[in-house]
Amino acid sequence: MEKRSDYVLWFEECDMNSIPLVGGKNASLGELLKAQIPVPPGFAITTKAYTLFLEQGNIRKDIFKILGGIKANDMNSGEAASKTIRALIESTPMNDDLQDYIGEFYRRLSKRCNVPAVPAAIRSSATAEDLPGASFAGQQDTFLWVRGVDGILKHVKKCWSSLFTSRAIYYRTKMGFPHEQVEISVGVQKMANAWTAGVMFTLNPATGDRSTIAIDANWGFGESVVSGECTPDNFIINKITDEVIKKTVSYKTILYTRDPENHCVIKQNVPAERANIQCVVDKDAIELAIIGKRIEKHYGKPMDIEWAIDKDTPGQAKIMILQSRPETVWSSKKVEPVMQARSSALEHICAGLIAGKKVN
């Protein structure tokens, strides 16, 4: 019998070396913890667990047979295959060992958080995902506010099956990525009870400027920012001096929050009195940026980070980093000199004068 650590690992036990086992996203969380970055606690369900599930359920063969039957250029056949595969995965029972490993870790997680049946986020962490230059990000589903062992187990399977959404299938086919090679790990992480949340880039995504940090923020969970459903507040912070150099407070229309009754995520209109209010105070934005700098320094490259400020301690903000991955757009651009090199400052001055300064 294999060890526990083949199937479930605390985030603290993950690092970049464990990518094949826990995927990029979970490995990142481990790395963040190692760099003393505040991350909600949780654990990874490894790719081996997924493989074990396929084998013990005896469904691997069936899946690849269905995939093989997809006709190229036929969207409908892809759609149908996806449906069949996902139903197959979700209806196949998980074996007892796996159930025990996951259940035990979930209970221990709840204990760590001092919450019975702690609400958790279940996220996929594919091994091919989040690698610079191959943004598979967002291809797989994320499930929020899942509570109880049964709920966890159910959604872990949903997460596994989301490896086979028609979009993901189509994407891998287009990128020439063999379906057989894609493995999936799942992260189970304490939900951040976000008062405010959003996205942070350790460069300015609009200009590629690496001397700045850009933060988008909205009330509630970060979903409204990630999905682009709401125009967030935007902060541009000078990375070198930790000053807010530009701030746009937007009229924020909707937010995501938790339904206190059934713990599911609901979309709400932002209460009128908060719509025009800056949702992160400057001080917290700066603190966030400083954490962003540490994350960037840890990885040695520009990063794309999801964050939240905990609801339980408003005013005395508790910043949590939910996800972080390498920035892909500017990082994959060919690096060109800012200005054509010249033999002397005078040559530059002359050329600069001739070019003039555009007023527009």
Partner 1 sequence: MADKSFPNPHEVEAIPGTEGWERMYPYHYFFTTKDKEREEYENNMFWFNDALHYPEPMYPFDIIWDEAWFLSLSQFNTRIFMIPPVYGVDHRIINGNVYITPVPVTDPEEVQKRAPLFMERAGYYFENWDKLIEQWEKKMRGIISDLETLEIPTLPAMEDISVVKNGLGTSSGYELIKNYDKLIDLGIRCWQYHFEFLNLGYASYVIFVDFCTKAFPDIPLQKITQMVAGIDVILYRPDEELKKLAKLAVEFNLDSQIGNDTKDIKDVIASLQSSENGKKWISAWDEAKNPWFNISTGTGWYHQDISWNDNLNIPMSSIRIYIEKLKGGHSIDRPVDAVKKERKRLIAEYRGLLKTDEDLKTFDQLHGTAELVFPYVENHMFYVEHWFHSVFWNKMREVAAIMTDHKFLKGQEDIWYMSRSEIKEALWDIVTAWATGTKGYGPLHWPEEVAWRKGVYKIFKEHRPSPAYGTPPEVIAEPFTVVLWGVTNESMAAWAKLKEIGDPDKVNEIEGFAGSPGVVEGIARVCRSVEDIGQLKEGEILVAPTTSPSWAPVFQKIKGVITDVGGIMCHAAIVCREYGMPAVVGTGQATAIIKSGMKIKLNGDTGRVYIER
For partner 1, the binding residues (CB under 8 A) are 204, 207-212, 236, 238, 240-241, 243-247, 282, 335-342, 344-350, 352-360
Which CB sits closer to partner 1, 170 or 330?
330
**Strand, helix or coil at 296?**
helix
The candidate with the shortest Cα–Cα distance to 94, out of 8, 221, 214, is: 8
What's the closest the beta carbon of residue 204 comes to partner 1, in angstroms? 6
Q: Which is nearer to partner 1, 193 or 204 (CB)?
A: 204
Q: How far apart (Å, rounded) are the C-alpha atoms in residues 195 and 309? A: 6
Q: How far is the CB of 344 from partner 1 (least distance, A)?
A: 7
In the complex, minimum distance from the CB of residue 177 to partner 1, in angstroms, rounded to a whole number? 30
CB of 13 to partner 1, least distance (A): 34
Question: Least CB distance from residue 346 to partner 1, whole Å?
Answer: 5
Tell me if 174 sits within 8 A of 135, measured CB to CB: no
Structure tokens at 333: 């651009």
DSSP secondary structure of 152-198:
HHHHHHHHHHGGG-HHHHHHHHHHT--GGG--EEEEEEEPP-EEEEE
CB-hemisphere CA count at 13 Å for 51? 14
Give me the helix-helix angle, 19-34 and 47-57, nearest 10°. 150
Least distance CB 277 / partner 1 (angstroms): 16
CB nearer to partner 1: pick between 111 and 246: 246
Task: Name which of 104 and 347 has its Cβ closer to partner 1.
Answer: 347
Q: Which is nearer to partner 1, 267 or 301 (CB)?
A: 301
Nearer to partner 1, 14 or 214 (CB): 214
The residues pairing with 43 across neighbouring beta strands, listed in sequence order, are 10, 188
- For partner 1, which is the closer residue by CB, 38 or 205? 205
| Angle value at C-alpha 291, between 287 and 292, nearest 5 degrees | 110
Token pair belonging to 343 = 């033999």
Q: How far is the CB of 210 from partner 1 (least distance, A)?
A: 5
Name the nearest CA neighbour of 221 among 332, 108, 320: 320
Dist. CA 134–CA 137, nearest whole Å = 9
- The one-letter amino acid code at 301 reads K
